[in-house]
Amino acid sequence: MSPGQLSAKRRGDYEQTECHARAVWEKTCVQLERAGRPYFETAAFYRAILAIEKHCLRKNRVPMRAEYRDRMLAALAQVDCALFKYRPSFWDAAFPSVDFEALSALIMFWAEAPEATAKRSVERVQDARARAAAFRGAIQNLQREERDDAQLIREYHRQKKITGEAA
């Protein structure tokens, strides 16, 4: 690849092939399905949101196949249920049902041809993108809280081990 082609690839301006698109769809589906497990996997959901945001509105994207769109939407519904069970306080505080609607809208945009998305209201597309970005930020904060909690638990057990107390 020439240097110009490499910089175009980094910017995302390169022509996306069906094979590459299928790999991205599959990976995003798997991440959403992992996040929708009963214990809600925050990191997988965060990565899935990033992928959806990155690829859904590219001008040179390959429209997503219906089978992948349906898998992603079903997995998103599972994530909604898992998040409600796993972190009900987060669900109540952030009221993410609106944010899940935004993510499902971005998945629908990804499934349609770029020309069809261009005909949509600019405000609708920008609103869905902004709400998805805000939701990603909330999930990232939840991920940080989980890491901090795990660190506190590890520190607690390390102190108990040092002092010789029974765990």
Condensed to tens digits (0 to 9), the pLDDT of residues 19-59 reads 888 888 899 999 988 888 877 788 888 999 999 988 888 87
pTM to 2 decimals? 0.75
What is the average pLDDT across 65-94?
A: 82
Is residue 117 predicted with pLDDT exceeding 70?
A: yes
Look at 160 and 101; give whichever has higher pLDDT: 101
SS3 letters across the chain: CCHHHHHHHHHCCCCCCHHHHHHHHHHHHHHHHHHCCCCCCHHHHHHHHHHHHHHCCCCCCCCCCHHHHHHHHHHHHHHHHHHHHHCHHHHHHHCCHHHHHHHHHHHHHHHCCHHHHHHCCHHHHHHHHHHHHHHHHHHHHHHHHHHHHHHHHHHHHHHHHHHCCCC
135-149, pLDDT tens digit by residue? 888 888 888 888 888
